[in-house]
Chain A
Amino acid sequence: DGGITQSPKYLFRKEGQNVTLSCEQNLNHDAMYWYRQDPGQGLRLIYYSQIVNDFQKGDIAEGYSVSREKKESFPLTVTSAQKNPTAFYLCASSTYSNQPQHFGDGTRLSIL
């Protein structure tokens, strides 16, 4: 089955620690995205990538980093510089940037 896989489903971060969230898709989509969702809020764009080896900052990129070395993979690192990392993180992909996005089932990140 084609889809987007995010892992882990739950993640706990210690203070000062960097953590990496995985996102893999086998839909052959060019565009991939990372969003953050806080309780009762909408989605906010962290980073996006329209092609391999290229990515752009979204609205709330500070404290986060990404890479796009392979078409199917777009990992997100939450660095220690992100002081309020507790949120629901969603990865998505689409054929082109103005096409509907397909989402993974998310990673919930909490601080220990």
Chain B
Amino acid sequence: RKEVEQDPGPFNVPEGATVAFNCTYSNSASQSFFWYRQDCRKEPKLLMSVYSSGNEDGRFTAQLNRASQYISLLIRDSKLSDSATYLCVVTLYSNASKIIFGSGTRLSIQP
């Protein structure tokens, strides 16, 4: 089993819709969680950190479920500009060698 797994997609979603995807992790000792966005042929950019209590940033909501070992990202009122690959990242506390990037979920917003 991979340490971090994401549905590769693509998720083809009409503009204005709500879309959600999950990322599962295998190590229960995982401590820090992040969502990154990567546009085609560009570098990943931090979208948001994921906190135990869940957090929201505008149209984006991230949640952590430690019992089931997954994090989720919800995008409301999707825009064409949301089309990208979304990477989840899981880290073990203070262990730089255990920063695991998921392979990403590709999202395509349709006009």
Contacts and interface: CB of A to CB of B under 8 A. Distances in A.
Most chain B CB within 10 A, of A43, A90, A102, A103, is at A43
A42 B102 contact: yes
Nearest to B49: A100
A101 interface: yes
A97 B93 CA distance: 8
Interface residues of B, number: 24
Interface residues of A, number: 25
Contacts, number: 55
Given A42-B103, A90-B44, A102-B46, A48 B94 contact: no
B97 A45 contact: yes
B43 A33 contact: no
A106 B87 CA distance: 17
A33 B101 CA distance: 13
A100 B46 contact: yes
5 contacts: A45-B97, A97-B91, A97-B96, A98-B93, A100-B46
